[in-house]
Structure 1
Amino acid sequence: MSAEASPPLLQLSYRPDLNILVGRWGYQPDPHELPAVYKEVQELALKHGCRFWLQDIRRRTLNDPHTTRWLLQDFFPGMARHLGGRLYVAYLVGPVLHEAIVSQPDFVSAEYYDGQPFAISFFGDEGAAMQWLQARPADAPVG
């Protein structure tokens, strides 16, 4: 009896036709796994100069508060500076995680990010997430 191989934590690809970096998360990560994975995201984004990211986290079940703070305070603003323009991140989430995210007392809507060096929005539908990314200005300077 052979054990099935677990899916990779993150399948990462760049879509040159759309200028979108797509990350599909395979499972709920342990927080200690995240630094190396976000380093991969950073390297591929910088390689292609891509400021439009779709992160499919439908297989994840929770957000680590420490990681979330680091993303919002350090990683996303830093990536916007390195990429020379506003970073846009569309998160594709399942209904349970979406409810958990929006019910947090510190949750802010996409409008909160107006004037910030990055913008984040959450979607239950991949088509809507892609439309949101494609509607963002390609030449937006860092807030």
Structure 2
Amino acid sequence: MAATALPEVLLPTAHRADLDILVGRWSCQPEPDQLPGAYAHLTREAVASGCRFWLQDIRSRTLNDPHTTQWLLTQYFPQMASQLGGRLSVAYLTSPTLMELLVNAPGFRTPDAYATEPFVIAFFGTEGEALTWLEQQRSH
């Protein structure tokens, strides 16, 4: 995909009003210069829907950029939680290969490790597991 791809093509989103979940499905492995536009698009959609429960389908991605991860954890997710007025819950739907890379990476944290954070993230191999977890987060 060219670096000039539109953010809504790179990261199509939809607010599932019936579940109150914002779904984002990454269409490919983004180039680093595509990420600011994609996250700006995600921000606009989250704010428009007021939704704090996100399902991010990253099965088409093959690697995780450590700099982006650091930015997400230290800036983006805390800012989004503040902007949305409550704890942000993000369920990542991932491929088995990427899941293995993520859980074996230095600094990987389980959802329990986010207890004092304004956000929580978790990784799943099936959409059903991810949706069940997001529903459970509503009571936290």
**Does 2:72 match 1:71?**
yes
Distance 1:77 1:21 in 2: 17
**Does 2:51 match 1:20?**
no
**TM-score normalised per structure 1:** 0.90
How many percent identity over aligned positions? 54
* 3-state secondary structure, aligned to 2:137: coil
1:137: how far off?
2.2
Distance 2:99 2:137 in 1: 22
1:67: how far off?
0.5
1:50 aligned residue: 51
Aligned residues: 132
Distance 1:10 1:56 in 2: 9
Q: Deviations over 1:10-63 (max 9, x none)?
A: 111111000000000110000110001101111111111100000000000001
1:91 aligned residue: 92
1:3 aligned residue: none
Distance 1:52 1:132 in 2: 10
Distance 1:117 1:79 in 2: 9
Distance 2:106 2:70 in 1: 14
Letter aligned with residue 101 of structure 2 = A
Distance 1:126 1:89 in 2: 13
Letter aligned with residue 76 of structure 1 = F
Runs in 1 of length 4+ with deviation above 2 angstroms? none
* 3-state secondary structure, aligned to 1:90: strand
* 3-state secondary structure, aligned to 1:45: helix
Unaligned runs of at least 5 residues, structure 2: 1-8
Distance 2:130 2:88 in 1: 14
